[in-house]
Structures are given as C-alpha cells and as structure tokens.
Amino acid sequence: MRKAALILSIIVLCVLLATGCSRYVDEDSYNADAMQPVISEEPLTFTEEPIEDESSNGSNEPCTPQPAALIPPTYSDSRTRAAAHGANDFAFRLSAALAQNIEYENLVVSPFSVWLPLAALINATDMAYRPALLEALGAAGINIDDANSHINHAASRMLFNLTNQDGRRYAREFGFEYHNPLQIANAVFIDNDTHIRQDFAQAFMDYYRGTVMNVDFSSPDAVHTVNTWASYHTNGLITNIVQDFNPNTVAAIANAIYFADRWSWEFNPDYTTQGIFYSPIGELEAYFMQREGDQLYYEDDYIQAIHLSFRTGGGMQILLPKSGCAVELLSSMTMERFGEIMTGSQLSDGKLLLPRFSIESRFNDLADTLTALGVPLFDKAAEPLTGGLIYEDIPLWLSGAVQMAVIEVDEQGTTAAAVTIMDIFGAAPALPAEPFVMICNRPFVFILYGFTNDGGRQVLFTGVVNQP
C-alpha cells in the first residue's frame, strides 16, 4: 500500500509540474458563438469542468456576484493566439521605447501590467478608436466588430494559464497545498459621484478578475485606498504608487503583478564571489553567483544567452551582447528574435557567472510613451472612453499612466512586482446658458446680409451706430 501511495503521489506531482499543457481540437470545429461575453443571453460553454476562481467563497447569495470561470484554452484559435502574440509584440515595443531614456541607469518594466488594463478598456472604447487601440496592443488583425469579445477571451485564457488553474484544481482534488508564484490583480476605482456601466463591470470581473471600488477622488483617502491595494497585491513591495489625484479624475484602472519563485537549480551561495562589474559609468564591485554543468545555452555572432528555469514553470533568459550595449540589444529585441533564442537553446556544459541584482524603476510619463506607441485613449479632444465606462454623459479619456516595478535576483530565485495606474479624466458637460440681457444703449455694429447659392449668407451692408 505504501508503494502504491508513493506512485500516486509521484503521478500527481508530475501533473502539477506540467503546467500549460492543454487539449486542442481542430480550429474548424470551433463555435464562434462561444466568443460572446458571459453577460449575453448565450453564455460560454466549455469542453471540461469550469475552474473556480480562488477568490470565490462558494456563496450563492444573489447580492454577491461571482466571476465566471476563467476560460481553459482547450482548442486552438487563431484570434486568441494573435492577441496573445500581440501582447508579446507590445512588450518588446514598450520595452524598447522605455529603454531609450534610461542612459546608464537600470531598467525593469512589466509590459503585461500595462497591456492588461489597456486590453480591458477596449470594452469601454468608442468603436471609432478601437482599430488604433488594437494595433497598439499588437492585435490589428482581429475583426473590429467583435474585437472586445476576442480580446476578453484571449485575456481570460492567458490568465487561466498564468495563474495555473489546472494546478489549483489538481491540488484541490488530491488535498495538496498549492501556491502559485504569480499573482495578478486588476481593479477599477470609481468616483463616488459616478456609476460604472454594468456591462463593463461584468466583463472586467469575468475575463480579467477585476474588482470595482468606489472612492472619493477629492479626498486624500483615495490615495490611501489605491496605495493600500497596491501594497496588498505586491506583498508590500510597492506601497506609494500615487501621491495625489487630480480633481478631474473620474476613475482609475489599475493592475498589480507579483512573482516569487525559486530556481529549479539554485545557485550554491558558497560559490558566490566578489568581483568587478564593468558598467558604463566605471568599475563596480558586485557579488557573482556561479553555476557549472549542463545548462540551456544559446550563442550566435551577436549574443550569448542562458535560460534559468523556475520550480513551478517558466523561466528567465539572460542575454549578454558580444558588442554594443545592453540598451541597444533590448531595443532591437522582437518576438521573433526571442523565439529564435528560445528554440535554439541547447543543453551545454559550461560555467555561468551572474551578479546578484536588485532594481527598482518608476515611469511617471508612461502616457507619453503609450501615445507614441499608438494608444488612442489619451486624446482629450477625441474623448475615446465616453459612454463606455460610466452611465453619466461625461466626456472621458485617459489622462496619465504610471508604473512602478521592482525585481530582486539572488541564489535562491527571483522576486518581482509591478503596479500600473491609469487615470481617467472627465469633463462636465456644458451648462445651459443663463438668460441673457442685451441693452443697446451704447454704440453698436450691424451686418446686413442676404442669401445666394454660392455665398450662403452674403454680407450686403455693415456699419456702426454711434448716434441713432
């Protein structure tokens, strides 16, 4: 019996480690109706048991709305693949844009923390501006008429894999404790004087696991609420993402990402040695971790690359340019180049020296970068979010975006966190004009005109009356 129990435990452990494995069906058999949002009359149907979200308390109370199950990627679909690939394309374009401004400073950014809120906002974006937003998100090939359904669907599938819902289910079924190293949270903070549209709130909850919170943006309590939310969802790593809110703020959409995992093959701290790191500003002392033996390695005429894997899946690529600077390397990186390095890596015997590092970056002018990348939501004159986010008839647009990101790499593993906040401004509609009073008791001007086909109101006489 003990032998059988041991075999069963090994099988379950293998299943837990095999994340991201999905069953696929022929794309031709895919039912396009399943792409409709869950708030439609025909809800989504799946080929396997839905996975409950960890935030669900199992209550059936009607006053406690629960999100729909995240969508398992159980079939191959070109549209959702295009959106997911587009997120990576966006990641490298954003990274390249931000790297141009760092000069000799360090850089850490979470492009996915920016992509997710923008993807969610497609549900509130005016139809006229959705093509530009899709192109900026790297999903220009998606049909504009039902783009929100495709983007929502893709985001839900991505979150299903990234938060390892399969692992959660197996752990629940077999009584294991399970901790996912990656935590993702989304939220919309809405001013007390406005009311979020139910269709947006439902899609935000179902596909992005987003929550909605009412705050008073005219009060310092709003800053405290947002910073507390950020701190909670980054395990205390990011505590002061915002200092104040503009009085014109109607809403703010936020994302938080927290990652902490150990290396599948940890560095032995006894081998860590002190050495010189040759930085652009001069020689610096650093502590170098060492590893020798078979490792996933890639090399060509331009770079050396090594893949470091984590215990629960995923990994980190370290890219070392043979010539030129690291900023140029990151700026030239594309999704295709990244894939080439990944597929070309081979198990090779060698030695790695990698410095321990800890980086923090803050991007206060993220709105300028996103505008340069083609995101149309910051155009005040266009008011691209009007009518899609709140019920009130108030012109809406994104007014600013900020991100803080941190990462720490040592012998045991990696810890990283990021929070992105995007402010949504509103302009009050024009007030009706007050009844006017006009008393012509001083000199005035007159213009006398007639009508012609070519000139319209054709001016015939003009004058000034100084003495009636």
Position 290 pLDDT exceeds 50 = yes
Helices (H), 137-262: 147-162, 165-174, 198-208, 220-233
pLDDT digits (tens, 9 = 90+) for 124-161: 999 999 999 999 999 887 878 788 888 999 999 989 88
Closest CA to 273 of 357, 354, 351: 354
CATH number at residue 185: 3.30.497.10
Contacts of 439 (CB under 8 A, 6+ apart): none
125 assigned to some structural domain: yes
| Listed residues 355, 380, 414: the one ending a domain | 355
- Which spans in 279-387 are helix H? 326-332, 335-344, 366-372
Residue 44 belongs to what H/E stretch?
A: none
* Tens of pLDDT, residues 261-273: 899 999 999 999 9
The residue among 317, 334, 355 that closes a domain is 355
Q: What is the CATH number of the domain that holds 308?
A: 2.30.39.10
Count of H helices and E strands in the chain? 11, 13
Helix (H) or strand (E) holding 268: none
Query: What pLDDT does 313 receive?
Result: 80
Calpha distance 154→88 (Å, rounded):
13
pLDDT given at position 437: 57
Total tally of structural domains belonging to the chain = 2
Mean pLDDT score of the chain: 80
How is residue 298 written in tokens? Answer: 């890639």
240 & 366 share domain: yes
Residue 145 lies in a domain: yes
| 226 and 350 housed in the same domain | no
Cα distance between residue 329 and residue 325, in whole Å: 7
> What whole-number distance in Å separates Cα of residue 401 and Cα of residue 421?
6
What is residue 63's predicted lDDT score, i.e. its pLDDT? 44
Write b or e for each residue in 160-173: b if 16 or more Cβ atoms lie within 10 A of its Cβ, otherwise e.
Answer: bbbbbbbbbbbbee
Residues 123, 28: one domain?
yes
Taking CA atoms, 279 is separated from 95, 97, 104, 276, 325, in Å, by 20, 22, 8, 9, 10
pTM of structure: 0.80
- Residue 273 shares a structural domain with residue 318: yes
Look at residue 23 and tell me whether its pLDDT is greater than 60.
no
Q: In whole angstroms, what is the distance from residue 183 CA to residue 163 CA?
A: 7
Could you read off the pLDDT of 191-212 as tens digits, one per residue? 999 999 999 999 999 999 999 9
State whether 283 and 380 are in the same domain. Answer: no
Q: What is the DSSP string of 286-302?
A: EEEEEEEEEEEEEE-SS
Among 190-194, 379-383, 456-460, which is the least confidently predicted range? 456-460
Cα 44 to Cα 38, 70, 153, 201, 414, distances in angstroms: 6, 11, 10, 17, 37
295 and 227 both lie in a single domain:
no
192 and 334: one domain?
Answer: no
Q: Residue 284: give the domain boundaries.
A: 269-355
376 and 388, same structural domain? yes
Say yes or no: 277 and 388 in one domain. Answer: no
Structural domain contains residue 284: yes
* Between residues 420 and 163, the one the model is more confident about: 420
Which tops the pLDDT comparison, 130 or 23?
130
In a domain, 216, yes or no: yes
- Flag the least confident range among 46-60, 308-322, 382-396, 397-411: 46-60
Q: Are residues 188 and 290 in the same domain?
A: no
Domain boundary among 325, 355, 385: 355
Residue 133, in any domain of the structure? yes
Q: Tell me, yes or no, whether 89 lies in a domain.
A: yes
* Within-domain flag for 33: yes
- Identify whether 292 is part of a domain: yes
Does 68 score more than 90 pLDDT?
no
Same domain membership, residue 292 and residue 209:
no
User: Residue 206: what pLDDT?
Assistant: 95
Q: CA distances (Å), 338 to each of 79, 117, 226, 251, in order?
A: 21, 24, 35, 36
My answer on whether 257 and 289 are in the same domain is: no
